[in-house]
A and B are shown apart, each in its own frame.
Chain A
């Protein structure tokens, strides 16, 4: 009862003068302005953080040449690039080249500008490229060392997820061996039974052998004999 009375008193009209409150229309306008400003800020931030959003670098093999366009086979897709008088050409030796030097079968890096919806791609700079020099032929493998040669810097690794395969891995002075704590360790710390991650490249001198670029030895345990 008392509460009801208090409530009635509270909601009855009061003679006090309250400050003018903003109308709903004004609030809506402020909200709209806020949203517009937020949108503009987002667009500007996107432009600043990703200024080359419409610029792309496409690597591929030329499979077709027309009067004003070339078609590339790139990463299992075909891409048609429009060419005009402003397009520049660079040969394998990084010298200026020309449209008439562009042939089917050449590997190129095409620096292009595309429409926002990617509907048209304009070639700005066509660089003839040797794809072998830019290929990433590294292999990453995790597994256990099963055998270490006592006569040569070679060990054998069985991958954790493919026990039927052997990797013959060679280390050299450029091979970097690390503990899980990122401490550089000596090649001699590698032992049979150790679990490792290895970054490998095919050894061009020895068939069926990989060269270790970097190894992380998960079973490394510091001992007085191991050299950091």
Chain B
């Protein structure tokens, strides 16, 4: 009985150290990882030109004036040229923290905010057929970045 007790104390100690060490190692790895730059699909900071009365072009995202990081927007989903059988879809992506997000379809406009990690998600309604969706992010320094997405709403079986 006494032997088992001692053995249990020793094993318990070893197990405790092992778990604590493992937890600290995982925590250290996580702090090294940048969640914004990992596993993202497409980053587009410009959109195809369209006719506009002003000579000014806002398609390119200006560099941060302090020269630190470039304001960008990355769309995680949906993929470009996706086809949906439902008119309600959700746009998800990542940009600079707490940026204003403006999503425009040919007929509707939607606005939301990115969270502190820069993530955003917004349900939008698309029209029947092809839809060019423009997603614009404006950060706290008024830098703009845009991405253009083509999605199709079709109930046709194919």
Measuring CB to CB, which residues of chain A are less than 8 angstroms from any residue of chain B? 6-7, 9-12, 14, 16, 52, 55-59, 75-76, 109, 111, 113, 124-125, 127, 129, 133-143, 159-162, 165, 167, 178, 182, 197, 199, 202-203, 207-210, 213-214, 216
Contact A134 B158 (CB under 8 A): no
CB-nearest residue of chain A relative to B80? A75
User: Quick one: which of A129, A135, A139, A208 contacts B58, CB cutoff 8 A?
Assistant: A139
Residues on A with beta carbons closer than 8 Å to the beta carbon of B3? 9-10, 12, 14
A-B contact pairs, 20 of them (CB 8 A): A7-B10, A10-B7, A14-B4, A56-B81, A57-B150, A111-B154, A113-B158, A124-B158, A127-B129, A134-B127, A134-B132, A136-B105, A136-B132, A137-B50, A140-B146, A159-B58, A161-B144, A167-B54, A167-B56, A199-B102
Q: Does B130 make an interface contact (CB < 8 A)?
A: yes
Contact A162 B56 (CB under 8 A): yes
Q: Interface residue tally of chain B, by bracket?
A: 35 or more
Measured in the bound complex, the distance between the Cα atoms of B82 and A140 in whole Å is 24
The residue among B2, B3, B48 with the most chain A CB atoms within 10 A of its own CB is B3
Contact B109 A213 (CB under 8 A): yes
Residues on B with beta carbons closer than 8 Å to the beta carbon of A197? 100, 102, 138
Measuring CB to CB, which residues of chain B are less than 8 angstroms from any residue of chain A? 2-4, 6-7, 10, 48, 50-56, 58, 62, 80-85, 100, 102, 104-106, 109, 111, 127, 129-134, 136, 138, 142-144, 146, 148, 150-152, 154, 156, 158
Known: A9-B6, A161-B62, A197-B100. A136 touches B52 (CB 8 A): no
Residues on A with beta carbons closer than 8 Å to the beta carbon of B142? 142-143, 160-161
Closest Cβ of chain A to B77, distance in Å, is 8
Contact B132 A135 (CB under 8 A): yes
Measured in the bound complex, the distance between the Cα atoms of B52 and A203 in whole Å is 9
Residues on B with beta carbons closer than 8 Å to the beta carbon of A202? 51-53
Residues on A with beta carbons closer than 8 Å to the beta carbon of B156? 111, 125
CB-nearest residue of chain B relative to A129? B130
Residues on B with beta carbons closer than 8 Å to the beta carbon of A76? 48
Closest Cβ of chain A to B79, distance in Å, is 8
